[in-house]
Structure formats: structure tokens, C-alpha cells
A = this chain, B = another copy of it.
């Protein structure tokens, strides 16, 4: 606990370049003290803290990912105690980085140390790879991974980040991807008086609505030709897993203020949310948006589209299909601009090493974790599965209400301790698995 508090006290705000270099050195020292051969590997930005703890004769290697940089602490006045002064109350450590990600990252080091101290040796080789730029979009991490594929070779990537399920421990196996596009329809060179020009001037706002509307059927099915082509059928294991995710229809209903579009059943809910793609309008803007009337023909209209993609959809291919759809429907004049993309990424829920991890988490917590085939949201899991080509499994140790990126961020003491246990037991379960590379 004292060491964790020391780590938390060292600010490491990558967005503000506050203390990150000092923190990297501290993490390297802590990693060494845990028993790994640790070093800093420079990148064009902040260094990766990399370490290895070899187990002579072990046939498997586990690559553990984490990050030592944190979000900016602002707004400072919203914190009950100072963000870089850890405060222990209500069974939690409150501080910037307590949950995201220092507490979770540090649990891995303590797990390695605990195994080494009590057993003398690790059951698997452990590689520790802690990034310093996760909160600034991991801008140098993809190149780092590409450049160090061999160094990072492993049977599995094991990561702890983000919050657990509200009901407790959770293991997840990937995420949906994202493709974020902006559609723009252009009209005259300026807004026009709708009385003086209505009927003779181009109408980009109506046109944008038509282009956007053409993307779905009336029932919400995406009409972009080929959009669903690569969507994987859920495996039997996926289907079994969906049934086991807790679903409280009543609380979802209260949260949304309405019934979800999939109705009252959890399986349909999770199938749609996790294993189906979705095309969403995240924003619309054109012309007059204030109260009352303004009679103009806007000269530009924009829509932000965010597509959540599932395996094996490819953002580049989906973008091409959307462009082709718009052209085919006669909206070739509507400009399409990509604002961002991350491919979907998954490791099968019945991967043997995944099963080993689930067993470990169950032992560590004394209860079966919630197993989620993948997140509905997007994390850069493809870096591990596609760039490194490794199975990747996520076991968060922070509570569901960790307030990551927000004031009064926290990790529970229980989560931290059970996190250490989870990593430690996972190393043994992974070593003991008869399959899994």
C-alpha cells in the first residue's frame, strides 16, 4: 500500500507533460524491486517501461500490459481530497490514477513479487509492458509494438484496465471497433433567404437528411450493401456466454428512461450490443438552431456518423461500402471524411488460456466472474490481436464506479488485493493449461 501510494503521489499527466518521465523511472524501479529485469525503452514520446521475469524451464510466456500515465486532474475544486495525495476512506483509495491505471498496473508487479517470494520462481515467463501515453491516444504505441514483435512474443496478453462489471469481477475478450465519419452536404456559397430563394437554390440540409436516412431501413437495419457480410455468426460459446451476463431490465429501463429497442430480454440485448454492428448518428448540424423561426436555406449541413464494428468487419472496407452506397443512391456530392477508426478485436471466449484466466479470477474473488465476449465500446485491443497477433484477455480490477477520467477517481482495497491474487493465480492457471500455445 505504501508503495502504491508513492506511485500515485508521483504525477504523470501525459497530456500536460507533468511528471511522466519521473514516473517512468519510478515504475522501472518498482518493477526491478518486484523481481523483473526492467528498463526504459524510448519512443518519440514518453518511454515504455519494459521488464522481464524469466522462469527457467517454463514453456509459456505471458505479456502483461498497463499504463503509467494518467488523465489531467482538473477540475481540481471537484476533488474531495487532492488528486495526487491518495486518501483511503470507505475501503477505497481515492486519487488520480488510483484506478486508471496505476492501482491495476501495480497489482501485476505485486503479483510477480508475491509469487517469487513465496515460491522462489514463476510458473511462466512474464513480460511487463507499461505504456506512458495511453491517455493521449497511445500515439507512439502501435509503432513500438510493430518494432518489438519479437521481444514481445508471448502466449497471451493479459491486461487490467477500465471498470469491472457492476456485479463484480469480469473477464472480457475484446471490443467492437469504430469508424467515425463526417458527412457534409454543400449548397450555395452562403445561407440564403428561404422566401427569396426557396425552390431555386440547392437544399443541402434536406439532401443530407436523405443521404443519412438512406443508410437504414425503417426498422433500423443498415442498408449499406455488404455492411453485414463479414459479421461473424455467434459461436456456441458466444451464445452460452450472452445468457450468463447479468441483465436487470428494470434498471436498464430506468437508466434509459425507456425500454431498450431489443425489449426485455438480456440475451437479445447483449447480442445486439456486443456481437452486432451499429451505425449511429452522433451529431447533426445545419442552419438555424435557436428558438423560434429563422427563414434561411442553410448552405451547409453536417452529420457525424459513428459505426461500431464487430468481427470481422474492417473499417477501411466499411468506409468504402458507405461511400459506394452514397454514390449508388445518388449522393455522390455528399462529402465523406474519416475522423477516426479502430478495428474490432476479439479472442474467442472459449480460448483455453481464457478459460484458465476465468478460473484464476474465480479463485481470487471466490466467485465466478462475469464473462463478456467483448465490450460494446472500443479499446485498442487490435494492437495485441492484430499487430502482435496474440490472444488478448482483459481482467479489470477497478470498481464499476471508479470515476476514471473524472474527479474522485478510486480503486477499492478489495479490488487491488484481489487484483494481485488474480494476476498471481492466472500465471499458475495459464502454466497449467494443457492447450493454448
B280, A206: Cβ atoms closer than 8 Å: yes
Q: Measured between alpha carbons, how far is A293 from B306 in the docked complex, in Å?
A: 9
List B contacts of A42 (CB < 8 A): none
A205, B308: Cβ atoms closer than 8 Å: no
Query: Given A188-B257, A200-B261, A213-B209, does the pair A377, B195 have CB atoms closer than 8 Å?
Result: yes
A203 at the interface (CB under 8 A from B): yes
Q: How many residues of A contact B (CB 8 A)?
A: 76
Closest to A216 in B: B206
As a 0/1 sequence over residues 205 to 249 of chain A, the CB contacts with chain B under 8 angstroms (1 = contact) are 110111011111010100000000000000000000000000000
Interface of A is mostly: mixed
Query: Given A210-B218, A212-B213, A297-B280, does the pair A193, B258 have CB atoms closer than 8 Å?
Result: no
Q: Which of B192, B200, B276 contacts A199 (CB 8 A)?
A: B276
Work out how many copies of this chain go into the complex.
2
Query: Given A283-B294, A287-B282, A294-B282, does the pair A194, B272 have CB atoms closer than 8 Å?
Result: no
A286, B283: Cβ atoms closer than 8 Å: yes
A378 at the interface (CB under 8 A from B): yes
List B contacts of A192 (CB < 8 A): 256
A280, B203: Cβ atoms closer than 8 Å: yes
A306, B198: Cβ atoms closer than 8 Å: yes
A292 at the interface (CB under 8 A from B): yes
Q: Which of B196, B256, B276, B294 contacts A377 (CB 8 A)?
A: B196
Q: How far is the CB of A256 from chain B (nearest CB, A)?
A: 4
Chain A 314-363 interface residues, beta-carbon cutoff 8 Å to B = 329-330, 339-340
B256, A282: Cβ atoms closer than 8 Å: no
Q: How far is the CB of A179 from chain B (nearest CB, A)?
A: 11
Query: Given A188-B257, A195-B308, A195-B375, does the pair A293, B200 have CB atoms closer than 8 Å?
Result: no
Closest to A198 in B: B278
List B contacts of A306 (CB < 8 A): 194, 198, 293, 295
List B contacts of A296 (CB < 8 A): 282-283
A434 at the interface (CB under 8 A from B): no
A117 at the interface (CB under 8 A from B): no
Closest to A252 in B: B200
B199, A273: Cβ atoms closer than 8 Å: yes
A198, B308: Cβ atoms closer than 8 Å: yes
List B contacts of A276 (CB < 8 A): 199
Q: How far is the CB of A403 from chain B (nearest CB, A)?
A: 15
Closest to A214 in B: B213
Q: How far is the CB of A216 from chain B (nearest CB, A)?
A: 6
Q: Measured between alpha carbons, how far is A195 from B375 in the docked complex, in Å?
A: 8
A218, B286: Cβ atoms closer than 8 Å: no
Q: Measured between alpha carbons, how far is A289 from B295 in the docked complex, in Å?
A: 21
Could you give 9 example pairs across A and B, Cβ below 8 Å?
A: A194-B308, A198-B280, A200-B262, A201-B261, A202-B258, A212-B213, A213-B213, A281-B286, A289-B304
* Interchain residue pairs A-B with the least CB separation, the first 3: A195-B377, A189-B257, A213-B213
